[in-house]
Chain A
Amino acid sequence: MNTQSNAMPESFQAQSIAPAGRSVTRPMYWSVRRELWENRSIYIAPLAAAALFLFGFLISTIRLPDKMRGLSALDPAHQREAIAMPYDMAAGLLMLTALIVGVFYCLDALHGERRDRSILFWKSLPVSDLITVLSKASIPLVVLPLLTFTITVALQWIMLLLSTAVLLGNGLSVTTLWTQLSFVQMSLMLLYHLLTVHALWHAPIYGWMLLVSGWARRAVFLWAALPLVAIAVVEKIAFNTSHFVAMLENRLSGGGVEAFTAPGSLPMDPMTHLTPGNYLSSPGLWIGLAITAAFLAAAVRLRRYQGPI
């Protein structure tokens, strides 16, 4: 459409030579901070969920001495299961919270700035559309998993210390608790789970929602959900199959299947559950990441053209 001029006035050329590192990392860093300023639910919601859980757990410690006494009758594998149960529940609750926060964040991320016209302010600053979209994508893909990990580990530590205090206060031994609950392993498992399942496997879901939020003029949630329902319905009527639904299901819950062996065998060392080789070689992961990249590229391009609604 336009030809680029080589005869650029010299006074303008001098300023274009900015340090390349600064021109990417600094805007990226500040853009992510900006997202955290705007969407405080990103950290408030998991913290609130953690506080809620801790409150419940605090009350449950009344029953802890009885529970520990009862445990000695069980075999070690079941002991481990019973002791780890509240800790897994804590992790599960926080992951669920992060999932919900991530979904709502993505649905609003590229829509809100157009709705309140602030996109005109953001676009008046030297931050490219690519950096903006990547910073927004990094919230569900990087920030939320890491935040969930940190808060969960902190929560589990507090739970462990609380339990210890209660047991010692009742004159009970804490050996079973501390030996059966391999804390480092539990944390590593959690981190692995968050990265493989919540960040990478779910990435296309977040990418899709970001794309729709950058495209839809209103009712982002409907635009994000309806096409999927429509495809599933058409497929069902036309071919009487449900491959698309199966694919969506696999995207929601299939990450765990690839990244972990099926539970039930219960080996003594839970770390043997992890199957990173299997996970990394599963086509689903790479196809998903490619689709995410395509969604984000489309979102970047859309933002280039979009103005306030």
Chain B
Amino acid sequence: MACIIEARGLRKTFGTTIALDCINLRVEEGRILGLIGPNGAGKTTALNAILGLTPYQGELKVLGRDAWTERDQLMRDVCFIADVAVLPRWIRVSQALDYVAGVHPRFDRAKAESFLAKTSIGHASKVRELSKGMVTQLHLALVMAIDAKLLVLDEPTLGLDILYRKQFYDSLLIDYFDRSRTIVVTTHQVEEVQHVLTDVMFINRGRIVFDCSMEELESRYLEVTVHPQQVAAARALKPMHERQVFGRSIMLFDAVANQKLDRQQLAAFGEVRTPSIADLFVAVLGDVPGDKPGNLAGQALGNYEGAARGTR
């Protein structure tokens, strides 16, 4: 399987601030990688390096090319939505289609048109006249019609309402993704991408602190809502994280780190399930020394708190 992104010792500093601290990264073809981290963790810097938007130290190959020096060729096979609302406000929908069709050799105009036909976006409208959700739809329509090998999305749904967010990922999965494409996505709305991802990576303070495929995540990590009378026994098994919800202890266990662990035993403590990425994120980042887990988790997963827990 072809390696789409390969980074070795990737490093980037802004003055005295270290944005990326010797990152090693490998993304293979056909994966959907979620890059998750608190604000200022280095996600966007990492993506900018991958997209050749910023110079870096270390080695970084994207589709076998040097991301910085061979950027112009790379952009034929790589597509990205760097942020919401980067489409120029003056451009008309028809002009945007004309322009991308004009400059991009791998753009399929008919595909973009058919995607737009499903929305309420008119060809004569200017971007400034569209709502934020519609602009994202337009951008997605343009990007999905490009036959790219790698698609990079940096907070693609930031500021959109839940309907648009859901629609965005559904379109991406149903109309765009196939096994020959690769997607890298950063987002704060972790719970919405959980079912989309094949791999997940946590990044904090310029380092990758967690890297796992979703299959591994499901077999390795277990979350138990422990009965009050079993709490002491459960704690003896050294959970990697414990939190309180409605007066009950919810403990997260790592089945690989703790070999003695067995599912039967855990089931006796209470309901066992696969943790959500958000809970895992809190558990993992909470272990990083010197960090205040509460703050970080609050920042990154702010709107997760509102979501009902334990419903899965």
Closest to A125 in B: B103
Q: Within B196-253, which residues are at the interface with A (CB < 8 Å)? A: none
Chain B 64-95, CB-CB to A under 8 Å as 1, else 0, gives: 11101110110111011111011111111001
Q: Is B256 an interface residue (CB 8 A)?
A: no
Q: Is A286 an interface residue (CB 8 A)?
A: no
Complex CA distance for A290 and B22, rounded to whole angstroms? 42
Given contacts A15-B76, A116-B88, A120-B82, are A1 and B68 in contact (CB under 8 A)?
A: yes
Q: How many A-B residue pairs have CB under 8 A?
A: 112
Partner of B65, one of A12, A38, A113, A117: A12
Q: Are B88 and A38 in contact (CB under 8 A)?
A: yes
Closest to A122 in B: B88
Q: Is A128 an interface residue (CB 8 A)?
A: yes
Partner of A8, one of B59, B65, B75: B65
Q: Is B2 an interface residue (CB 8 A)?
A: yes
Residues of B within 8 A of A126 (CB): 72-73, 75-76, 103-105
Q: Are A118 and B59 in contact (CB under 8 A)?
A: no
Chain A 1-39, CB-CB to B under 8 Å as 1, else 0, gives: 111110111011101101000110011011101100110
Residues of B within 8 A of A2 (CB): 58-60, 66, 68-69
Q: Are B88 and A18 in contact (CB under 8 A)?
A: no
Given contacts A8-B64, A15-B77, are A125 and B104 in contact (CB under 8 A)?
A: yes
Q: Is A307 an interface residue (CB 8 A)?
A: yes
Residues of A within 8 A of B64 (CB): 5, 7-9, 12-13
Partner of A127, one of B48, B60, B89, B103: B103
Partner of B105, one of A13, A18, A308: A18
Q: Are A30 and B89 in contact (CB under 8 A)?
A: no
Q: Is B303 an interface residue (CB 8 A)?
A: no
Given contacts A4-B66, A8-B65, A11-B2, are A125 and B100 in contact (CB under 8 A)?
A: yes
Contact size range, B: 35 or more
Given contacts A2-B59, A8-B64, A117-B86, are A18 and B76 in contact (CB under 8 A)?
A: yes
> In the assembled complex, how far is the CB of residue A104 from the closest CB belonging to chain B, in whole angstroms?
16
Q: Is A121 an interface residue (CB 8 A)?
A: yes
Complex CA distance for A116 and B105, rounded to whole angstroms? 26
Closest to A113 in B: B88
Q: Is A124 an interface residue (CB 8 A)?
A: yes
Q: Is A239 an interface residue (CB 8 A)?
A: no
Q: Are B86 and A120 in contact (CB under 8 A)?
A: yes
The interface of chain A, by Cβ under 8 A from chain B, is 1-5, 7-9, 11-13, 15-16, 18, 22-23, 26-27, 29-31, 33-34, 37-38, 113, 116-121, 123-128, 305, 307-308
A-B contacts, 24 of them at CB < 8 A, read: A2-B59, A2-B60, A4-B70, A5-B64, A9-B2, A11-B2, A16-B73, A16-B76, A29-B102, A30-B99, A33-B102, A34-B99, A116-B88, A116-B89, A118-B88, A119-B86, A120-B82, A120-B83, A123-B51, A124-B51, A124-B82, A126-B105, A307-B53, A307-B54
User: Besides A9-B63, A29-B102, A30-B103, 6 other CB < 8 A contacts?
Assistant: A12-B77, A15-B76, A16-B76, A18-B105, A37-B90, A123-B51
Which 10 A-B residue pairings sit nearest by Cβ, starting from the closest?
A30-B102, A118-B88, A120-B82, A8-B64, A126-B75, A120-B86, A128-B72, A121-B86, A126-B76, A27-B103
